[in-house]
Structure 1
């Protein structure tokens, strides 16, 4: 599938900012699941943009505006071709116990995705869920799909009830949230089991009314989970929609949790006050 994506972020300052610095992760990834055909970034005010690849392999851009400005507009436009990924869960005929033995030989390489992180705590509650779902003789793939479905049913999709600071502990009590919360909770259970898992940020094609997916129509930004399988492949699971990653998912960045993949972060010098406006469009072309 080919998608046209536009992402416009506008900050309007209460009083003129004297200067600002921003870092962005809004560049779609080139990977086995997708090819970036074009990408451009437009800034207002216009200043030079610099790029680097971060620790997790994400293409990251940054810029500074060393003069007064009343607003900042960042707009990205991309054309991305997603590819079919037939039977992503095939060929892994292992029990949970057998998979954990294999993971043990790769703990050093997978270290970052096995430990707690800024927004993902490993709690007694997540370990209890792990023991119920990931019974040692159960097939690994069966257990992963069961967890994906459990998170989907355990949480209710409720925008505005949580924010980025909402902890895993709070989620277990609230039982509601948005895609980042579904992803954080699923990763917490996976890491409590000893299964490497990472957070994925990206876009999803707005869902049609007749679709079996559950995320609301018109929601374009998205987050899901990638699990490292014993066959050395990262495979995506979308607990918000109780599905595996498909051609309608477009990857932007990966990391330990949301903190590693925030689309835009920065600082400015000036009066404390700003208004944020975001407009995103994902269309099949």
Structure 2
């Protein structure tokens, strides 16, 4: 599916900002499930310096500095991404190991080979293990249950038992609070799922990106009316011939907001932007400013399939 994505972030400051430095994660990269043919940033005012780099998780990040006074900062990311479908059988047909065996795989013991996914087992800024997460997950992670079946069941329960409520939380709302309220937005659902999986000793990571929304028949897509999205990946080690777990495996994506899962992506209508331990690693924009005691933030996202563009009259 060929997708055209525009993500515009606008900050308005009062009083003005005299100097600023920012780091953004707004440019997708190619992978097994997507091919990026175009991706660029337009920043206003023009930065005095800018550097694009790839971080430790393989994400494209951009650093820029603004040593000039400004009342408005606008960052617009344009991307053209062709998503691909990776075929996979139903979850019941996948022979994944019992979740307890996967948990033991990540336990430290002398002489054990290192699995890079170990980094995603531990606590992070927004994902703090707690007994309440284990208690909630227990109904899905019954003894001996295959890890992917258990994880998909937990994803489904979050989807059905929680209420999606816009503006009910913000970026600083703890996952434990959202768990108790049984409501939140996609970011909260992702952090809750991550917290449950890591509390159980499993490796899971946060994914930011986009999802194509469906436009009602007879209507046209409103430019800027879409939103960024967030979901989770769980790591499943490969099983070797002797029955032990290898230090390599597969990442399966789980989207509790939409109750969707898949190999490396929940579907062809998803675009992965960045991965990390949680939101703190992949926040779209963060930085340090001098001035601007108060500010307003406007974000507009448009994800358009190529079919819509071709159908748009001149």
- TM-score, normalised to structure 1, is 0.91
Shift in Å at residue 254 of structure 1?
0.6
Give the Cα–Cα distance (whole angstroms) in 1 for the partners of residues 182 and 270 of structure 2.
Answer: 25
CA RMSD of aligned residues (A): 1.9
Give the Cα–Cα distance (whole angstroms) in 2 for the partners of residues 172 and 15 of structure 1.
Answer: 38
Give the Cα–Cα distance (whole angstroms) in 2 for the partners of residues 239 and 3 of structure 1.
Answer: 23
* Residue of structure 2 aligned with 1:235, choices 247, 252, 259: 252
| SS across alignment from 1:18 | strand
Cross-structure match for 1:201: 208
Cross-structure match for 1:213: none
Give the Cα–Cα distance (whole angstroms) in 2 for the partners of residues 209 and 125 of structure 1.
Answer: 40
The 5-angstrom pairing of residues 1-285 of structure 1 reads 1-47=1-47, 48-87=49-88, 91-104=94-107, 109-208=116-215, 219-231=226-238, 232-244=249-261, 245-285=266-306
Count of aligned pairs? 278
Q: Which moved more, 1:26-35 or 1:130-139?
A: 130-139
Alpha-carbon spacing, 1:34–1:106, altered in 2? closer, same or farther (3 Å): farther
Confirm or deny: 8 A CA contact 1:4 1:78 kept in the other structure.
Answer: yes
Which of 1 and 2 has greater Rg?
2
Cross-structure match for 1:214: none
Confirm or deny: 8 A CA contact 1:226 1:236 kept in the other structure.
Answer: yes
- TM-score, normalised to structure 2, is 0.83
Q: Which runs of 5+ in 2 are unaligned?
A: 218-224, 239-248, 307-314
Give the Cα–Cα distance (whole angstroms) in 1 for the partners of residues 302 and 191 of structure 2.
Answer: 25
Q: Which moved more, 1:151-160 or 1:130-139?
A: 130-139
Give the Cα–Cα distance (whole angstroms) in 1 for the partners of residues 153 and 214 of structure 2.
Answer: 23
| SS across alignment from 1:110 | helix
Alpha-carbon spacing, 1:279–1:200, altered in 2? closer, same or farther (3 Å): same
Give the Cα–Cα distance (whole angstroms) in 1 for the partners of residues 189 and 286 of structure 2.
Answer: 22
| SS across alignment from 1:99 | helix
| SS across alignment from 2:150 | helix
